[in-house]
Structure 1
C-alpha cells in the first residue's frame, strides 16, 4: 500500500509565535525558558496537524530556533574560533546574529528560495565533535506524543557544498571526518527505537554540481547505511531533477529516494525506472511545497496513475515536492479573501496528500475528503474562467510592446548625471528603508482598521519622513531616502496598489531567524491603476535641497517574492509587472525626482538550478528590468540593489541590466564580490555594503574605514558609492543612528 509523507514543515508558528518569543528574549523582556516553552508547544501542534490529517511519516528534527544549517554546525561542533568560550543559547545566537566582539556568520539564500541559511565556516584545522542532543530530544519528544517520526537531517554532501572555508582549503577535504560524525549520529538515533526512518536532504544534487559529486555518493552512503541496521535511510532531493545522484544512490543500501515531481517531472522518468529496478521506495513529491494554489486533484490523480504504471503501489509514497517551510501555515484565519477557494496552504496541502494516497491505494474517500475533492473540482473550473484573472487590455498592451530599453548609452548618461548632481567622491546614501518602529506599525494598522482617518494617518507618516530627512541631513548623507514609513513590505506595498493581486491576512513565511514575510498573491493579469509612490517621494523631496531617491521594487523581485499564478509562463507575468514599474518611473521623473532606485533584491534567487535552463531566465529577467526603466531619461539616474548574491557567474548579466549604479551586500564576505566587478571591467558605478545590517552590532569608524580601504584596493573612488549592506527596516534607531554616523565619518576620512 502507498503511504503519505511531508518532506518538512514550518516552525515559526501560524501566528508567528516563535518570532515574538525570540524577539522578546533578544530584547531582554523574557528568559530563554519562555522561548523553549513556545517551541515545544509549536512542535507538538505541528506534529498533531500532520497526524490528524492522516500523514504516515511525520518530520522531526526540522524545527529550529533560527536555522537548520546552523543547528547542524552546532551538532557537529563546527564552531568558528571567534565564538570560542561561549555555550548554549549565547553561542547559538552569537553565531547567527553576532555580538559585541564578533561578527555574525555569513547568511545567504537557500538554493533559489527566499529562505536564508547560516553558512557553515570551515578551515583546514576544523575538527568535528558530535552533540546529538537536539535530535535525540526531539525524536523522544515526538515518540512520547505517538508520532510516527521521520528524522530530518541535512545530508553531508549538501552541508559541505554550502559551507565556505576561510583559508582557501577545500570543504570536501572534511568529507570522511564528517561522514564519521553522521554515522555516529545515526547510530545514536537508532538506539531510540526498533526501527528508525531518517531522511537525509541532499538538494545539492539537483544542481550542476551533481556531476562532480555523484561519483562519491556510493562510498559515503554505504557507510551511512551501515551505521545502524535498523535505520531506513531516505535520500531526499527537491527543487529540480536529480538524475546523476539517482543513478548512484540506488546502488547503495538506502531504503528510499525522494524526487521532486512538480518541477521537471517528465525528466524524472529514467530516475523512477532506476528506483524501481533497484527495489527502492520512491518518495514522490507530487504536491507543490513552494506555491499556494490548490492542486488540480483530477490532474494529480492522473499523474498518480501514470506513476503506478512505472512502480508498484507499495513502493510509491506520496508527499510534497519540498518542505512546507516555504508556504504559509493555514487558511483558517483568512476572511474576506475573494480567491480563498483557489488557495492551499501547508495544512490544506496535508489533505491533498491524503486524498492522492487514497487514490493510489484504490480506496474510497472518507466523507470529509470526498467533500474536499468535489470542492476542488469547482475551484479549478472557476479559476480558469474568472474575470478576476483575465484582463484583455493588459494582454493587448504586452502584445503591442515596441520600446524595450533606454535610448542613451551609459557612457553618455553618466556624464550628464555627474554634471547635474555634482556629488562628492564616495557619495553616501542608504538602501532605502529606515526602522519600522512599533509606533509606525500601530499607525498603519489603525488606518487599515478605520480607527484613524486619512488625514491623521498622512500627518503621522509625514512626521516620520520629516524626522528621517532631518536626521540624514544632520549627519551629512549625500543622497537621501524618505524611509518608507508607508510601506509594510517592499513587495506587498506595491502589490496592494496593483490589479491582479490579493493579500492574505496571516500568510506569513519565514525568511530568516525571526524575520517573516507575507508574500502577496499574484493571481491574474497585472496593471497599475494609479501612481504608487509619487506623492510620498515628492513630499520628501520638498523637505530638502539634497537629492531624494525614489524607491521602487523591480519587476523580477516583485514576481520572485510573490506567490505567482501557475497558469501562465513567468516570462509573460514579469512583462506585465515591468510595465507597472515603467509607468511609475515615468511619473516620478516628471515630478522632478532625479534618482530612482529599482530594487532587484531577488534577481539571483529566481535562477534555475540547472545551467540548461539559465539562458531563458536571464533573457526574460534582464529584458523585464530594461523594459521597466526604458522610459528613464539620460538625466534620471537608475540605481538597483541586489541581496546575498554570488556574482561571479552572473556578472555579465548584471552588466546587461544597464543600471547606472548597483548596490550589493558585501559586509560579511569582505571585498571578494567586488573583485568580480573589477575582473570583468565593469563600467557602471557600485555601492558595496560597508556594514552588516542583519546584526544588531554598531560598527566603529575605524572598522568602516578599513572596509573602505579594502574597497579602494579594488575599484577607484570615482566608481564607488558608500552605503550599508541593505535596508534598515528591521533594525532599531539606537543601532541605526550611530552606525550611519560612523559610516559618514569614515567616508569623510577616506575622501
Structure 2
C-alpha cells in the first residue's frame, strides 16, 4: 500500500479567514489573543482537510510567511525589529514579527515604524517570502516552539503523533536564500546554523514524532561545488539528531543533483514527479532500497485534473522494482493552488463549464486517495472514479481539438517588423519630449490607487445587476475625475486614472479576453494577507473588443497633463494565471501579446501618448535551471515587444517590474526597449542599482523610492536620499521618480502623505541636479 501525504496545505482559509483576521489585528480591531485564537482555528481547519492522509503536515501554517517563521525559530531577527521589542511574550513577539514583515505591527504601535525586511519571490512562484538577513557576526539559536506548539494542538485535536509530519525549511536552502549584509562567505555560518537545527530536531523527536519533512528546493538549481558540498555536509551532521528525515525537492528536476540527493544520509526522498517524470525510474534505481521514495505525482502548482490512468501507469512499475515503501503526494506544497472547487457554483469560459477538468487543493488530496486505493485494492475498487476521470478528460480533449480560432492564423502571419520600434530610443526620446514637455525627474505612480469599500461595493453592484451600466459608468468616472484632480493638486507630472474599475491587474483583462474562465473563491496567497485570484486560461486567447480605451480617453479629458494608459503585459498575464497545459506556454503568451497589441494601438488612436505595459512577473517565469534561461527570455522579451512595438515613435511606452532581482538579466531587460522602466528599489537598499554599475542602461528608468508594501509613510529626506543613490549609477536625465508598485492595497490616508513627500523630494533633487547640470 502506498502511503499518502502532502507537503503543505493552503493556510489562508477557504474564505480568506486568516487574511481578514490579520487586517483586523493590524487595524487595532482584533487583540493579539483573538488573532492567535483565529490562528489556532486555522491550523485545526488545515488538519481537518488532510484527515484522510496517512501523514499530516504540521508546522506549515504561518501568520505571514514560513521563511520568516524559520528566521524567528533560529533567532535571526533584524535589529531594527527588536528596537524596544524583546520576544519575551506574545505581544512582543507579534510586534517584532510584523515589524520585520511590513515595517509596523499594529496601528499606533508603541514600538513605532521601521523599514520592512526585503521581500522577493519563492523560486519561480508568485508567492513572496521575507528574505533572511545575515552578517559575518550572525549567531543562530534554536527556538522550536513554532513546531512544538503545533504538535501539542495536533494531539489535542485527537490525532496520533505517528501521523504528524512537521515541515521545516532546510538549513542549506535557508542559508542560500539569505541576504548577506557584508562581504563574507555565507557558508561560514553553516556549522552554527546546523547546531540550531539539531536542537530543533531533537526537541521535535522528544514529542514522539517519527518523520520530519525538510525542504531543500535549492536542489532544483544548478549549484556550484561549494553548495553541493554544503548539502552533503549538512545532512551528515543532522542525520540522527531527530526523527527520520524525508528530504523534499520540488518545482523542477534534480538533474545534476540527482546522485547527491539519492546518496544523502536521510531516510526518504521526495521528488517532483510532475516536472521531472523522466527522472523517476533513475531515482528509483539509484535510491538505496531501504529509503522511502515519495513521488509528487499530483501537480501542486496548477489546477487541472490529474490523469489518473497515466499516474497509475507511472507508479506501478516503480512499486514493482522497489522493496522500500513508495509514498504519494502532490509535487509541492498546495499553498500555490486554491482551496476547494466545491465552493464554485460555476467556472465558465466563453462557451463551456470547465469544472469537470479542474482540481483545487481539496480535490487533489482526493485524487491521491483514489490512486492509493487503486494500488492497494485494485483498479476495480475505484472503477467509478477512474471512469469519471477518463470521460471528463476525453470530452475535454475533443472540445479543444474542435476549436478553430483566428488567432492561430494571426500567429502564422507574424513578421520581424512587428517586434521593432520604428526608430532607436535616442530619436524617440526627442520626439516624446517635444510631445509631453516633461520636466527633469518626471514624477508618476505605477497605476493603481487605493480601492475604497465604496469602489468595491460599486463594482459588486454592477456585476450582480443591482445597478445599470449608465449609473456604473457615471460613478466610476466620478472616482477617476477625483483621482486625477488629487494627483494634479500634489504636483505629479504623468498621471494615472487610478484603476477604480479593476478588480485585479490580470483578472480584469482576462474577463474581457476569450479563452479565460473565472472563479469566485479560488484565492491563492501571494504574501501575508495579500491574496490573488488567478484567472484560468483554458483556450485560445483573443480580444473581442477594446478593454480600457473608454476609461483612458475619459481620464485624459480630465487633465492637460499626460495620463497613462494602463495595461498588463502578456508575460505577466501568463505567469499570474493558471495556464492550459496542452500547448507550449510561449504559444499561449504569443496569443496574449497579440491581444494586448490591439489594445495598445487602439489607445494610441484614442490620443493616449503614454502607455504602460506592466511586466511585473517577467523574471518570475525564469526556469530554475540557469542553462534554460536564454530560451525563456528570448520568447518572453519577444512577446513583450510584439505587444508594445506597433506604436509611433512619439508614443512613450512604459513597463514596470516589482521585486524582480533582475541584475543578472539586465541585458534582456534592455532588449525589451521600453522607453521607461520602473522598478522596485526602496526595500532592497538600492542593491538593484548595482546592475547599472557595469551595464550602461540605454533608456529611462524609475527606481522606486516609496515602499508601498509597508503602511509606513516615507519621509521626504529618505526618498531624496534614494534618488541621490540612484544618480550615482544612472544619469539624471534618465531618472524618473515613482513608488515601487501600485497603490491599490494601501489606504488613502497612507498614500497621499507619502506621495506629497515624494513630490517634495523630487523638487529638492531638481534644484540640486539642475545646479550640477548648469
Q: TM-score, normalised by structure 1?
A: 0.97
Q: Write the distance in 2 (CA, Å) between the matches of 1:491 and 1:101.
A: 32
1:654 deviates by 0.6
Instruction: Give the equivalent residue in structure 1 for 2:627.
Output: 612
SS of match in other structure, 2:295: strand
Indicate the SS of the match to 1:668: coil
2:212 corresponds to which residue? Answer: 198
Equivalent position to 1:505, from 520, 545, 561: 520
Partners of 1:199 and 1:460 in 2: CA distance = 53
SS in structure 1 of the partner of residue 421 of structure 2? coil
Whether 1:488 aligns to 2:503 is: yes
Kept in 2: contact 1:197–1:232 (CA 8 A): yes
Single out whichever of 596-605 and 131-140 deviates more from structure 2. 131-140
Q: Following superposition of structure 1 onto structure 2, how do residues 123-522 of structure 1 map, counting pairs within 5 Å?
A: 123-147=135-159, 148-193=163-208, 195-209=209-223, 211-228=225-242, 231-275=243-287, 277-312=288-323, 314-337=324-347, 338-364=353-379, 366=381, 369-386=382-399, 390-402=403-415, 403-522=418-537
2:29: which partner in 1? 29
Compute the displacement of 1:671 (Å): 2.2
1:349-748 equivalence runs, <5 A: 349-364=364-379, 366=381, 369-386=382-399, 390-402=403-415, 403-748=418-763
Structure 1 residue aligned with 2:50: 50
Q: Name the CA distance, whole Å, in 2 between partners of 1:298 and 1:704.
A: 58
Return the match for 1:66 from 64, 71, 80.
64
Distance 1:370 1:31, change over 3 A: farther
Determine helix, strand or coil for the equivalent of 2:343: coil
Q: 1:554 to 1:278 in 2, by over 3 A?
A: same
> Does the residue aligned with 2:563 lie in a helix, a strand or coil?
strand
Q: Is the 8 A contact 1:243 1:271 kept in 2?
A: no
Residue equivalent to 2:93: 88
How much has 1:376 moved relative to structure 2? Answer: 1.2
Task: Determine helix, strand or coil for the equivalent of 1:640.
Answer: strand
Distance 1:371 1:211, change over 3 A: farther
Report the secondary structure of 1:150's partner residue.
Answer: strand
Q: How far is the alpha carbon of 1:250 from its aligned partner?
A: 3.6
Q: Are the aligned partners of 1:554 and 1:600 in contact in 2 as well (CA < 8 Å)? A: yes
How many pairs were matched up?
A: 742
Greater mean deviation of Cα atoms: 670-679 or 684-693: 670-679
Mean CA deviation greater in 436-445 or 530-539: 436-445
Return the alpha-carbon distance in structure 2 between the equivalents of residues 143 and 724 of structure 1: 47
3-state SS, counterpart of residue 198 of structure 1: strand
State the shift of 1:382 in Å. 1.4
SS in 2 for 1:540: helix
Q: Deviations over 1:241-280 (max 9, x none)?
A: 12444423443431101100111321454333221x3531
Contact 2:346 2:519 in 1 (8 A): no
SS in 1 for 2:422: coil
Q: Deviations over 1:195-228 (max 9, x none)?
A: 4210000001101126541222232112211213
1:646-680 CA distance string (max 9 Å, x none) = 12210111111111111000101122212313421
Per the TM alignment, residue 362 of structure 1 is displaced from its structure 2 partner at its CA by 4.9
- Cα 1:571–1:211, aligned 2, differ >3 Å: closer, same or farther? farther
Q: Which segment is superposed worse, 684-693 or 203-212?
A: 203-212
For 1:168 and 1:389, locate their aligned partners in 2 and report how far apart those are by CA, in whole Å: 59
Q: CA deviation at 1:467?
A: 1.1
| 1:315-372 superposed Cα distances (whole Å, 9 cap, x missing partner) | 2111110000000000111113211111000000011111222233353565xx5433
- Residue 102 of structure 2 corresponds to which residue in structure 1? 97
Distance change >3 Å, CA 388–CA 548, structure 1 → 2 = farther
Contact 1:116/1:511 (8 A) holds in 2: yes
CA distance in 1, matches of 2:272, 2:286: 15
SS in 1 for 2:342: coil
Measured in 1, the distance between the counterparts of 2:457 and 2:171 equals 45
Query: Which moved further from structure 2: 123-132 or 289-298?
Result: 123-132
Given that 2:262 and 2:283 are in contact with CA atoms closer than 8 Å, whether structure 1 keeps it comes out as no
1: CA distance, partners of 2:125 / 2:317:
29
Deviation at 1:233, TM superposition (A): 0.4
Q: Are the structure 2 counterparts of residues 665 and 597 from structure 1 closer, same or farther at C-alpha, using a change threshold of 3 Å?
A: same
Compared with structure 1, are the counterparts of its residues 612 and 307 closer, same or farther at alpha carbon in structure 2 (3 Å cutoff)? Answer: farther
Per-residue Cα deviation, 1:280-322 (whole angstroms, up to 9, x for no partner): 111111100000000111111111124335434x421111100
2: CA distance between counterparts of 1:269 and 1:413? 56
**Corresponding position of 1:40:** 40
- How far off is 1:705 after superposition? 1.2
Contact 2:289 2:322 in 1 (8 A): no
The one-character-per-residue Cα deviations of 1:114-142 (angstroms, maximum 9, x if unpaired) are 00000001111111122211110101211
Structure 1 gap segments, 5+ residues each? none
1:523 is paired with a residue of what secondary structure?
Answer: strand
Question: Following the alignment from structure 1 to structure 2, what is the Cα–Cα distance between the partners of residues 385 and 418?
Answer: 54
- Cα distance in 2, alignment partners of residues 388 and 473 from structure 1: 52
Alignment correspondent of 2:350: none
Cα distance in 2, alignment partners of residues 210 and 60 from structure 1: 32
Cα distance, 1:405 vs structure 2: 2.7
CA shift in 2, pair 1:196/1:309, >3 Å: closer
CA 273–438 in structure 1, closer or farther in 2 if over 3 Å, else same: same
Q: Does 1:77 align with 2:91?
A: no
SS class of match (2:190) = helix
Change (3 A) 1:608 1:387: closer
Q: Deviations over 1:676-735 (max 9, x none)?
A: 134211111101000110000001111111111111112121011000000000000001
**Aligned-residue RMSD, C-alpha:** 1.5
Deviations 1:492-546 (A, max 9, x none): 0000000000001100000000000000000000100000000001100000000
Q: Is the CA contact (8 Å cut-off) linking 1:389 and 1:523 kept in structure 2?
A: no
- Stretch moving more, 218-227 or 601-610: 218-227
